[in-house]
Structure 1
Amino acid sequence: MTPPRALTIAGSDSGGGAGLQADLRTFFACGVHGMTAVTAVTVQNSVGVSGYTVIPPEVVAAQIRAVATDIGVQAAKTGMLATAETIAAVAAAVDEVHIGPLVVDPVAASMHGDQLLRDEALDALKTLLFPRATLITPNLDEVRLLTGIDVTDRAGQREAAKALHAFGPKWVLVKGGHLWTDPSCVDLLYDGSEFVELDGPRFDVRHTHGSGDTLASVVTSALAKGNTLPDAVRAAKAFIVESVRHAYPLGAGVGPVSPLWRLPDAAAFLTPPAATPARG
């Protein structure tokens, strides 16, 4: 039986912690067949990004058309889109092949809060991609870049959710992982009329690379399986809690969150069997 199919439109992380590698790993852990439209190739490890090459926008669009018109896409997500030209090409391709639901993870800030997209690309996200999105999933640094709102408490999360919803997505999820003053980690879901707070524990860990990619990929997987958006987000919240709990060190820098907790038998499967005693 063919499993549900999901597409990630994102950049490649050569260190495997985030980007389309994290997306594919999460799709697999959720029982979904993953496909890719590569937007950029990064030179990256656990310490940081030392360079990247942007894939021509027409090639990105061609990848989307190729898989959508043959294999079919039951849900898609975006990650690193790099340039305004790429964002425009993705928006046009999404319309052309009627992709939906669409989860937009607006990768606009580094884990240190530094801006990753030029202002014209931020504008393209807001005007071209957000109106086509089923859900957008910004962290608080991205909220600041997109709206100018510096969120310092849960009331600020609500203000930010309203401002983001005005750009046109059906749903907004304002992630609270960077709200360090809050003892809990509360993500706020908003549909333009109602707020839903999704509470979770805050772990004292440094290995959180790829957490945003992983959460958005679980939402995309659940939507590909036919779940409602609120149920998909609740599933993703529970999944990311365990992924952070099972995060692991990697290299000399920041390690990734781990969706591998979903595969409890993997280690046993790969362990060599005990040697059989020789018969005399």
Structure 2
Amino acid sequence: MSNEFPQVVTIAGHDSDGSAGMPADLLTFFANQVYGAGIMTACVSGNSYGIHAAVNMTPAFISQQFKDLAADFNIRAAKTGMLADQKVILAVADNLEKYDFGSLVIDPVIITKHGDLLLESDAYQTLVERLIPLATVLTPNYFEAEKLSGLDGNEPSFQAHAAQKLQALGAKNVMIKGRHDHDSQTKVTDYILLEDGRHFTLSGPYFATDRKNGTGDTLSAAITSELGKGATVEQAIRSAKTYVDRCIENELAVAHKFGPINHWAGSNL
């Protein structure tokens, strides 16, 4: 039947080295057997040594991409990634309110896994006020959860308390990714708080490797893929966690320094 194959979309920047952003999302969509479309918010020039230049798309161009996809595709789930400034965030939020793209997974690209701030204050506030309340699932890393909740990440039960704060911002379901910033640890534990109040943790091994670029993008894209196929939020999160662990564990020999994860290794294709 026409237009019935599961279709999802990533709203993100394009990274020229293919390791993160839209390329990682599209690889994840393919590996998880959904059709993936893309709404480009920025173009990033870089390689395994670092990012060297970036250009944001205009709000008008972003809006046109939304319009074109909504007119032709049956988008069942969407995710956001890099939204670099206030104008971009406003354009994305406006269009997500205008068009029905199903469940929305927000990967709040605010702070890197090493603790570096990526958004200016006005853009950050706009993301909190306009975008997070639209989230079906919010997937902050540990440092982003600290920033969004205003809590100290070293306090007891930080993830549980932070998840409650993030639900209060409007996100229906919250997955706070475990801290993974030192090689002496042996596992990573994520905390999930569901809309109905149920909560659980998911633990996996810590992989001491430099080939982790795009891990957060891939996780949120895998959740989006499963939601697009009709899975529950809990099913989608559990499946995505397993997929990403496989992708990290089976290293891919590409480039020289901080490389991509292996999207094929986690696939059931």
Equivalent position amino acid for 2:257 in 1 = G
| CA-CA distance at 1:82 after TM superposition | 0.6
Distance in 1 between the 2:32 and 2:267 partners? 10
Distance 1:126 1:177 in 2: 22
Q: Report the TM-score when normalising by structure 1.
A: 0.89
Match of 1:191 in 2: 194
**Structure number with bigger Rg:** 1
Contact 1:208/1:254 (8 A) holds in 2: yes
* SS of residue matched to 2:26: helix
Unaligned runs of 5+ in 2: none
In structure 2, the partner of 1:257 is 261
Q: Is the Cα–Cα contact under 8 Å of residues 6 and 224 in structure 1 kept in the other structure? A: yes
The answer to whether the 8 A contact 2:135-2:172 is kept is yes
- Give the Cα–Cα distance (whole angstroms) in 2 for the partners of residues 224 and 62 of structure 1: 23
Runs of 4+ in 1 over 4 A off after TM superposition: 179-182, 262-265
Which residue, 228, 234, 239 being the options, matches 2:243?
239
Q: TM-score, normalised by structure 2?
A: 0.93
CA distance in 2, matches of 1:259, 1:241: 10
Alignment partners' CA distance in 2, 1:154 and 1:24: 37
Other-structure match for 1:271: none
After TM superposition, list the pairs within 5 Å mapping 1:51-130 onto structure 2.
51-130=53-132
Q: Partners in 1 of 2:156 and 2:186 — Cα distance?
A: 12
CA RMSD in angstroms comes to: 1.8
- Structure 2: distance between partners of 1:249 and 1:146: 35
Aligned partners of 1:75 and 1:100 also within 8 Å? yes
Q: Aligned match of 1:207 in 184, 204, 211?
A: 211
1:277 match: none
Check if 1:227 corresponds to 2:231: yes
- Give percent identity, aligned residues only: 37
Quote the residue 2:169 is aligned against: 167
In 1, the alpha carbon distance for the partners of 2:113 and 2:100 equals 33
Give the C-alpha shift of residue 100 in structure 1. Answer: 1.9
SS at the partner of 2:75? coil
Is contact 1:69-1:97 (8 Å) kept? Answer: no
Q: CA deviation at 1:200?
A: 1.1
Q: Structure 1 25/82 Cα, relative in aligned 2: closer, same or farther at 3 Å?
A: same
Give distance in 1, aligned partners of 2:44 and 2:161: 34
State the distance in 2 between where 1:9 and 1:94 align: 10
**Residue by residue, what CA displacement relative to the aligned partner does 1:223-261 show, whole Å, maximum 9, x if unpaired?**
000000000000001101101101324323201111111
Question: Could you tell me how far apart the structure 2 residues matched to 1:160 and 1:179 are?
Answer: 19
Per-residue CA deviation, residues 38-68 of structure 1 (Å, 9 max, x unaligned), is 0000111111111100000121122112112
C-alpha distance in structure 1 between counterparts of 2:169 and 2:257, whole Å: 36
CA contact (8 A) 2:113 2:141 kept: no
Q: 1:132 Cα shift?
A: 0.6
Q: Distance in 1 between matches of 2:268 and 2:129?
A: 43
**Number of aligned residue pairs:** 265
Question: What is the Cα deviation at residue 114 of structure 1?
Answer: 1.0
**1 CA distance for matches of 2:185 and 2:69?**
42
Question: Does the Cα contact within 8 Å between 1:153 and 1:182 map onto a contact in 2?
Answer: no
1:182, CA displacement in angstroms?
A: 5.5
Bigger drift between 233-242 and 184-193 goes to: 184-193
The one-letter code sitting in structure 2 at the alignment partner of 1:188 is Y
- SS of the aligned residue for 1:53 comes to strand
Deviates more, 1:115-124 or 1:141-150: 141-150
Assess if the C-alpha contact under 8 Å between 2:32 and 2:268 holds in 1.
no
Deviation string 1:10-39 (CA, Å, 9 cap, x unpaired) is 000000000000000000001111101000
State the structure with bigger RCO (CA 8 A, min sep 6), 1 or 2: 2
